[in-house]
Amino acid sequence: MVQRPADGPASPASPRRKSGRPRLSARDWADAALAAMREGGLAAVAVEPLAARLGTTKGSFYWHFANRDALIEAALERWAETETERPIAELEETTGPDAELRLRRLFAEAVRSAAEDPLEVALLATADDPRVAAVLERVTERRIAYVARQFELAGFPEPEARRRGLLAYSVYLGHVQLGRAVPASLPADAELERHLERTLDLLLMR
């Protein structure tokens, strides 16, 4: 399971800074780094601009992180948690035992979320960075394995379930890339919903 970045040391007697504002946590910094990545990729993660964004000083950064690399790694772990582990947990809680329903809801929500958030495309564009590559590999395998398991629960034998899980994830990535590069190529609104339903119909066809 993906581990959340530690929030760092803080005085139990006084969680606030002298200014009266709550002390920033490691998670605050990781989230700010992810926001910067959405806007400009890894190159946008720089300590001084992030401190300005957060309304603090570099001293707060060094309270939690040894260097910029540590912040990037924490931000990538945070992304893995919020965009993979948390959605899976929420899906399991809200869909009951119906694997087909989980597949349909997961596919539709994942495509819509990726269309609204440029971060995944930004990370894919920097997949040659070893830090990004390691997290992408782990997240990709986790997602494919989860989707394949749903096909298996829906009645497909394990090898076929794995093939369909990989195909479903390939379709998802295609939508992500098209939605950013050529958004006009994809249907919109209700037509997009029908398109995604039809895609799942095909993936679930026996």
What CATH number has the domain bearing residue 40?
A: 1.10.10
Q: How many domains does the chain fold into?
A: 2
Same domain membership, residue 118 and residue 191: yes
For residues 130 and 56, membership in a common domain is answered with no
Whether 33 is in a domain gets the answer yes
Q: What is the structure's pLDDT at 140?
A: 96
pLDDT of 159-189, one tens digit each? 999 999 999 999 999 988 888 888 888 888 8
Position 9 scores a pLDDT of 38
Tokens of 101: 């329903």
Average pLDDT, the chain: 87
pLDDT digits (tens, 9 = 90+) for 65-105: 999 999 999 999 999 999 999 999 999 998 888 999 999 99
102 with 187, same domain: the answer is yes
Q: Above pLDDT 70, what percent of the chain?
A: 89
Residues 55 and 105 in one domain: no
109-134 pLDDT tens trace: 998 888 888 899 889 999 999 999 99
Highest mean pLDDT among 31-35, 38-42, 93-97, 178-182: 31-35
- Residues 179 and 109 grouped into a single domain: yes
Q: Same structural domain for residues 123 and 165?
A: yes
- Residue 20 included in any domain: no
CA distances from 58 to 5, 6, 31, 65, 93 (A): 19, 18, 16, 10, 40
Q: Does the pLDDT at position 147 exceed 50?
A: yes
Where in the sequence is the domain holding 117, given as residue range(s)? 97-203
**Mean per-residue pLDDT, 188-201:** 88
Q: Is position 176 within any domain?
A: yes
In a domain, 195, yes or no: yes
- The answer to the question of residue 91 being in a domain is no
Per-residue pLDDT, 114: 82
Domain assignment of residue 194, yes or no: yes
Given a cut of 70, whether residue 14 has pLDDT beyond it is no
On whether both 38 and 105 belong to a single domain, the answer is: no
How confident is the model at residue 179, as a pLDDT? 83
Question: Of the candidates 47, 68, 89, which is a domain's last residue?
Answer: 68
140 belongs to a structural domain: yes
The DSSP annotation for 144-165 comes to HHHHHHHHHHTT--HHHHHHHH
Residue 106 has pLDDT above 70, yes or no: yes
**Would you place residue 34 in the very low, low, confident or very high pLDDT band (cuts 50, 70, 90)?**
very high
Between CA 73 and CA 107 the distance in angstroms is: 27
Higher-confidence position of 157 and 10: 157
Residue type, 39: E
Q: Quickly state the pLDDT bin for 54 (edges 50, 70, 90).
A: very high
Identify whether residues 199 and 103 lie together within a single domain: yes
Assess if residue 34 is contained within a domain: yes
